[in-house]
Amino acid sequence: MSTNAHPLRPLRWVTSSKFTGLELIDQTQLPNDLTHLKCGTVDSVWHAIKRLSVRGAPAIGVAAAYGVIVALNETGASSDWRTTVNKACDYLATSRPTAVNLFWALDRMRAKAAELDESSFDAARAALLAEAHAIRNEDAAMCAAIGNAGKHLIPEGGGVLTHCNAGALATSERGTALSVMYAAHEDGKQFTVYADETRPLLQGARLTTWELMQAGVDTVLICDNMAAVVMREQKVQVVVTGADRIAANGDAANKIGTYGVALLAKAHGIPFYIAAPSSTFDLSLGSGDEIPIEEREADEIRAFGARLTAPEGVRVYNPAFDVTPAELIAGIITEKGLISPVSEANIRETLAAADAPSPAGPA
């Protein structure tokens, strides 16, 4: 695996005689089947995001940006492209409420559209597609930079615990939390990753273990309720997870269960790190109390796959995310460097730093 070309490309824009649109790995089918979805309508992009066929905050943002182009293709030159862009952005924004990258990418597409107000349909579509490619390429570059910024935190011969999936499958390439591990692995470090299964949808079991094994990283799958044991047994020396939204004070929303992992890490004296690109920060929110938390369907907990494992009709509480307070986070690894200690002043100073290098290569 190289820094510039991760073998996993979870989503890409396709232009061919047979299909033009967004193609993505259907992550609901992993690890048993590596299948691809072709999204040729804005509705199909919305549903792919909603049902987690594409997931992870950065990947959701990239998919939504391309979804705007899908909408333009769908309506065609006979329609008012400005109306199409606005309607597509409004619609796609309803798919997942927590991942700030979704709104960041859509706002960026809106801003580009505003610059093109007098353009023809073809010129506007070309410029907006270039903007979507730029969002995708910049994300890939940010992920590589995150890996380089955090690889020194991975202990030689030690253990790393991660929760959910913050790898290439959650981004354009390489990932955020897993990018740190990939970079350390490429440097020749020997270590073991303990991956929480991540109930109720098993992103850790289905996706993280599969992805790490593809890359040749030593991987051990554990149930969510085993994290305390592996920490007590000193098998884990550091925890690294991703995030879907980070408030100005450093409170971070991530997949449900992350808060519990952070509390366990604190109790065992283990540093807990978040890895996320600058686009995941929402400086308009003062704290994590203001982060909207998505609540998902009850059957995700009532059933295991297609099999009912709880009494039919039992009441269910199913928040998709929880918020880890900044005081439990040893540092936030970004493409602009490590933010430690985590404070609003340090966050704002780091994010105001010079932009990361522009990515190279085709979209």
pLDDT tens sequence across 189-230? 999 999 999 999 999 999 999 999 999 999 999 999 999 999
* Residues 74, 40 contacting (CB under 8 angstroms): yes
How far is it, in rounded angstroms, from Cα 325 to Cα 262?
9
| Residue 357 pLDDT greater than 60, yes or no | no
Give residue 13's pLDDT band: very low, low, confident or very high (50, 70, 90).
Answer: very high
pLDDT in tens, 171-188: 988 999 999 999 999 999
The strand pairing partners of 221, in sequence order, are 195
Across the chain, what does the average pLDDT equal? Answer: 92
State the pLDDT confidence band at 358, using cuts at 50, 70 and 90.
very low
Cα separation, 110 vs 105, whole angstroms = 9
- Give the closest residue to 329 by CA, choosing from 266, 264, 256, 237: 266
The band of 2, judged by pLDDT with boundaries at 50, 70 and 90, is very low
pLDDT of residue 7: 57
Q: Is the pLDDT of residue 363 over 80?
A: no
What distance in Å separates the CA atoms of residue 162 and residue 164, rounded to the nearest whole number? 7
Q: pLDDT value at position 360?
A: 33
Asked if the peptide bond before residue 292 counts as cis, ω within 30 degrees of 0, the response is: no
> For the whole model, what pTM was predicted?
0.86
C-alpha–C-alpha distance, residues 137 and 134, integer Å? 5
Q: How many angstroms separate the most distant Cα atoms in the chain?
A: 65
N residues, the chain:
363
List b or e across 11-41, with b for residues whose CB sees 16 or more CB atoms inside 10 angstroms: bbbbeeeeeebbbbbbbbebeeeeeebebbe
Report CA-CA distances (Å) from 136 to 101, 141, 287.
Answer: 12, 9, 28
DSSP state of 142: H
Q: pLDDT tens digit string along 222-236?
A: 999 999 999 999 999
Contacts of 248 (CB under 8 A, 6+ apart): 281, 282, 283, 284, 285, 286, 287, 344, 347, 348
Residue 292 has pLDDT above 90, yes or no: yes
Tell me the per-residue pLDDT of 17-68, one tens digit each, with 9 for 90 and over: 889 999 999 999 999 999 999 999 999 999 999 998 998 888 999 999 999 9
Which domains are delineated in the chain?
Answer: 11-144 (1.20.120.420), 148-351 (3.40.50.10470)
pLDDT in tens, 257-282: 999 999 999 999 999 999 999 988 99
The separation between CA 19 and the C-alpha centre of its own chain, rounded to angstroms, equals 26
Q: Quick one: pLDDT at residue 160?
A: 98
- pLDDT of 295 > 90? The answer is yes
Q: Which residue type is seen at 278?
A: S
Per-residue pLDDT band at 354 (split at 50, 70, 90): low
pLDDT (tens digit per residue) in 231-256: 999 999 999 999 999 999 999 999 99
Q: What is the mean pLDDT of residues 131-148?
A: 95
pLDDT of residue 45: 96
Quickly count: other Cβ atoms within 10 Å of residue 284's Cβ: 9
Residues marked as catalytic: 244
Q: Strand 20-25 to strand 36-39: parallel, antiparallel, or no bridges (unpaired)? A: antiparallel
